[in-house]
Amino acid sequence: MAKAKLAVLISGRGSNLQSLIDAAADPDYPAEISLVISNRPKAAGLARATKAGITQTTIDHKDFQTREDFEAALDDALRLAKVDYVCLAGFMRMLTPNFVNDWRGRLINIHPSLLPAFKGMHVHERMIDAGIKLAGCTVHFVSAEVDAGPIIGQAAIPVLPGDTADTLADRILQQEHKLYPACIRLLAETKARLSGAVVLYDSSVIASGDLSNPPTE
């Protein structure tokens, strides 16, 4: 069976990109990264792609007069690479509804909260300020509404006494690095699929407990 082809979009250090690179290095992993794109020429994550021998390019949003022009160039690069899925990994650009709709069911994001709680920016600070007891991360399909698309998987961790926004962010990031490759595996193996506004799973996935953290009894 042919491996699913991924494009990963980054704007910064690319730590979630690295988790996908590491996962794809396993011969049994059902997906491979065909292309890494950054909207920032100096993004540190580009060096990760180069080191791994992955084709990488920069499409600088500052080179375009409109958001639509930037997205047209982005779309051209993705279609030329013939990718199956586009993984946002710290990609700090809002995407227009037209772009999102064109890639519906193939555009994936990871967010550092248990959606639908704490959408948007400054998530860790807001969670600490709210005094929540359970935090985590979510991998989801991208929709026109920010951080609101169908959920593929989530991982939860407790908020510990004395946690700061930084310590909480570090521990959530550790879960992100596990969850993102696991969710991509489910999609690439067609064990998870988008159906309307929800994600459906094979019975084997539900029985395994892989969709919850900690696993259900």
The residues that are catalytic are: 111
Between CA 126 and CA 64, with CA 17 as vertex, the angle to 5 degrees is 85
Rounded distance between C-alpha atoms, residue 190 and residue 205, angstroms: 11
Q: Is-contact 32 6, C-beta < 8 A?
A: yes
What are the percentages of helix, strand and coil residues in the chain, rounded to 5? 35, 25, 40
**Interatomic CA distance for residues 100 and 107, integer angstroms:** 7
User: Comparing C-alpha atoms, which of 74, 48, 50, 47 is closest to residue 60?
Assistant: 74
Q: Which residues of 187-207 are buried (b: 16+ CB within 10 A; e: fewer)?
A: bbeebbebeeeebebeeebee
Question: What residues form DSSP beta bridges with 10?
Answer: 38
Q: How far apart are CA 83 and CA 104, in angstroms?
A: 13
Beta-strand pair 31-38/56-58: parallel
